[in-house]
Structure 1
């Protein structure tokens, strides 16, 4: 929790200081009122001094108003400080998430990161807001109440020696047992979010297979787990209030019983007993506040640990301290092996090959051969496990990430679009693009035709994840988004799979014409997309099965030949 307070910045620090000061004013006024009430009874009423009663009563009203101002001021400043902390914490956490590599993002999972960015930060924000009020008010009221009560009667104050330690011990025991329960509860929220996210993203598949009832059962299971865990955690915390109230009532009975003897003995006045009971109530109420905040603290502590886990995570992909500049764009893999994490199997093993600058290279192979993993090593979306990836003779690890990725354009296998317009999606990585550049990229990606058919053209709204566009349209917008940047190295990761063969052919011709001098790497399932490439790499279960042109591989590589026969037919292959 304390580590997160560094996100309390700027004017929020001032508000965080003002809140306790205003609370100090409120507590001071509250502590004065019981003594003044005692004086009204013991001096004003006992002596029949009406003037004293009215004057003291007026002072009590004035003190109550001042206390109200202090309480309102504390509430306002603590809320502003807490909300600012929440905002800064969200900014910091989001920035950290953005800086993480694919490896760390795979570890945390999307649903968990969303929970940490929303629910967990809300818990911290609530805790800080309550803390600036209650964590100041409760100790001051408790200590001040004990001192004021002791001034009234040292004899009666002995009751505190028994009740307060009992309450504090009980609170400590409950908190120590509730913390792991609340931590588990946040993990259950992760699971609910994960199931919900999968259902929302896969709603079409679910309806197509008519398995809504199974998904409902799956969600109910996760939801029931969360409910049961919440009940277990809350049961433990709920018993605090009755126990404390029982002790408070016992204390009041003890004060009245023992105080009655003192009044009869003439040692204590009646008004002081009433004042003492008021102070006792204030002390016990402050302890009740501690219990209430301890309930939130247990949950906030679990949330803070989860947030810190992300904030303290460093990306496995770091910028070089003395980055080198690349001016050539040939690519070389030297004995490259790769696995996603230490405990997984190798996806790629001992790959070595060269790609000349300006070449068009195709990568082909069966499902799970490692094609996407291979190209993701070039812009350092993942880092190699061993070996080197060189661009222009320089290890990609020694090149600035910004410069490296600025020179590389990647069209990923999954076409992800963002809410906005078609224009904003195409200009996503190049906001300063001119209208001419926008049109050229759309034409090259074969997207201009369907864009012009839209009533609003480039200003057509794109729904979340491009739900209102077809698969082929999304792919073409994604390709245009990359082409508009004119990258030195263009990577197409099976990005034309939803296009018909004629459109794909036109796309290949446009890329060949417009990307002259740039290195183009194409992953494809269809041989027709790569057969004109300068070089084709055939992958098989993470190993290179063969490298060569279309004609060479037909003669020398059985895997490539079998794929060609299955797609082009025996006669076409023999003729080739």
Structure 2
């Protein structure tokens, strides 16, 4: 929590002035019972109507000024809390953008969304309560006790007895409930994960008629959260009855002993009513303190989760002195030397991978599911760092490249076609923001997408909905390929990016890619037809490079490749 206090610095004025205004309102509130006592004793007791009107007007005036102070404090609290929330979200979004794929995998998308939204909201509430109530509530407890002492010191002993009892009740209830609030935040993550998976995979769920199973899965997560919340509620439900009982006993004691004082003339009826009002003020203030404990407990748990993101050190960082290497004649465009890689699970995903690719070559990567094909190409633009060995681009270790310069070398088409809300033009301009229409249409031509884009009424300015859901799977894939081709990057990675294309379109795409001059192309595919004509074919099996060469060389030397080929092609087709 302390680590996030720096976000309050831009709002020093609000943090200082807000509580001062609220303190002023609390002072006026403490004066009201005493003024009411004067009205009862002097105004009503002596039938002095002008005095009643005068003191009544004073109470109304205090109420109006107090309302103005409260509204001013509320304004300052809103400004500060919303400002802190905005700064936190901006910094978290920036930090998440800096994290490598390794950290993103460890956190998970659902929990990051929860932390940016729900957890920051909890911190905003805490900031607002800090300004509005943290000073006011304790001041009312102390102030009401002091005002009771000014009325009658002996009667104030009832306050001094009631306050610790109410405080002890609050402590016991809070001690039982506070741990649950931390647990609830974690269980919200689980609901977020299940909800996100169901919303993204709704078509698959319906296709396999898994609605009931997924409903049961969500009900389990929701029921777990509800069960925890109910347990908290059962304990918290004791708070108001117990504190009310103590307060009522206190009021009874005031009335009982106060009655004797009134009969003896030591106290007036108005003073007894003032003491009762001060007792009520103390109870309400202590209940507010209890609620503040709950709010700040939740905020503390949220602050820990937010700080965890903000303090995470990205494993992929730019090295001091990183520079783009000078071109060297005869140097491989891409070279891996004895590369090992593992995810945070601890088992190697790639082991002892070595190969070299010359500029302008086309490389096919094939292997079974989970063989490490996508992992391999993700090492090239340094989405992950190898745990052993080196990955080199233009003869220089990727860790010695400036990150922006390194990734500018690549045009990447991921397995899942990702388009963003906007227009086709805006999506295509990601790689080269100042690309001309001619460059965009050339990329669309190569990606076999120009025909369907030309048929759209708005052409390049046709709208793209979130995720490209207003386009077919094949259209989305072709647009993501075109986006990667804009500017003709030196290295193009197609990670199983033609899975939604028919064979004719796929063949036309491969023929168009073969005519591109100067680009080194990596094609990851399950289709032998997509990679058999590549200059170099890499065969992966369980994270190991079991074959490297041309199609015909591998048909003779690599049993794994031969089995894959013959599972898709006839002997005659494979021999061509």
Q: Smaller-chain TM-score range? A: over 0.9
Tell me if structure 2 keeps the 8 A contact 1:8–1:88: no
Q: Which residue of 2 aligns with 1:314?
A: 313
In the other structure, the counterpart of 2:4 is 4
Which residue of structure 1 lines up, in the alignment, with residue 535 of structure 2? 534
Moved more, 439-448 or 297-306: 297-306
Question: 2:66 — aligned with what?
Answer: 67
Map 1:36-75; keep pairs closer than 5 Å. Answer: 36-47=35-46, 49-75=48-74
Match of 2:140 in 1: 141
Give the Å deviation of 1:316. Answer: 1.7
Alignment correspondent of 2:545 = 544
The answer to whether the 8 A contact 1:447-1:480 is kept is: yes
Alpha-carbon distance in structure 2 between the residues aligned to 1:45 and 1:541: 93
RMSD, aligned α-carbons:
2.0
**Aligned counterparts of 1:400 and 1:424: Cα–Cα separation in 2:** 26
Deviation at 1:9, TM superposition (A): 5.4
SS at match of 2:194: helix
Q: CA deviation at 1:67?
A: 0.8
Tell me which residue corresponds to 1:354: 356
Match of 1:471 in 2: 473
Q: Who is 2:568 aligned against?
A: 567
Q: Closer, same or farther in 2 for the Cα pair 1:331/1:567, shift >3 Å?
A: same
- Paired with 2:2 and 2:251, the residues of 1 have a C-alpha distance of 38
Partner SS state of residue 505, structure 1: helix
Structure 1 stretch displaced more, 420-429 or 17-26: 420-429
**Conservation of the 8 A alpha-carbon contact between 2:439 and 2:487:** no
Alpha-carbon distance between aligned partners in 1 of 2:510 and 2:49, rounded to the nearest angstrom: 101
Per-residue deviation at 1:247?
A: 1.1
Q: Which residue matches 2:289?
A: 290
Aligned to 1:164: 163
Moved more, 107-116 or 242-251: 107-116
CA shift at 1:443, angstroms? 1.0
Report the number of matched residues: 572
- Answering whether residue 457 of structure 2 is matched by residue 455 of structure 1, we say yes
Q: Distance in 1 between matches of 2:176 and 2:443?
A: 61
**Distance of 2:564 and 2:288 partners within structure 1:** 72
Report if the CA contact (8 A) 1:25-1:66 is conserved: no
Superposed, which structure 2 residues align to 1:303-452 within 5 Å?
303-328=302-327, 330-341=333-344, 343-452=345-454
- Conserved? CA contact 2:169–2:243, under 8 Å: no
2:134 partner SS: helix
Structure 1 distance, partners of 2:87, 2:211, is: 40
Q: Give the C-alpha shift of residue 566 in structure 1.
A: 2.9
With 369-378 and 57-66 compared, the bigger mean Cα shift is at 57-66
The alignment partner of 2:180 has SS state of: helix
How much does 1:58 deviate? 2.3
Q: 1:278, 1:88 → 2: CA distance?
A: 42
1:191 and 1:485 mapped to 2: Cα distance? Answer: 42
CA–CA separation in structure 1 for the residues paired with 2:574 and 2:175? 73
Distance 1:224 1:432 in 2: 52
What are the superposed Cα offsets for residues 425-482 of structure 1, whole Å, 9 maximum, x if unpaired?
2223333222111111111111101112223322332222222222221111011111
CA distance in 2, matches of 1:240, 1:298: 17
Partner of 1:237: 236
Name the CA distance, whole Å, in 2 between partners of 1:66 and 1:534. 83
TM-aligned CA deviation for residue 529 of structure 1 = 2.1
DSSP 3-state at the match of 2:360: coil
CA offsets 1:187-241 (integer angstroms, 9 cap, x no match): 2222222222222111112222222222222222222222111111222222111
Structure 2 SS opposite 1:135: coil
Q: What is aligned with 2:300? A: 301
Look up the match of 2:269.
270
Q: TM-score with structure 2 length normalisation? A: 0.94
Q: Note closer, same or farther for the CA distance 1:539–1:51 as it changes in structure 2 (3 Å cut).
A: same
Quote the offset at 1:75 in angstroms: 1.7
Q: For structure 1, list consecutive stretches of 5 or more residues without a partner in the other structure.
A: none
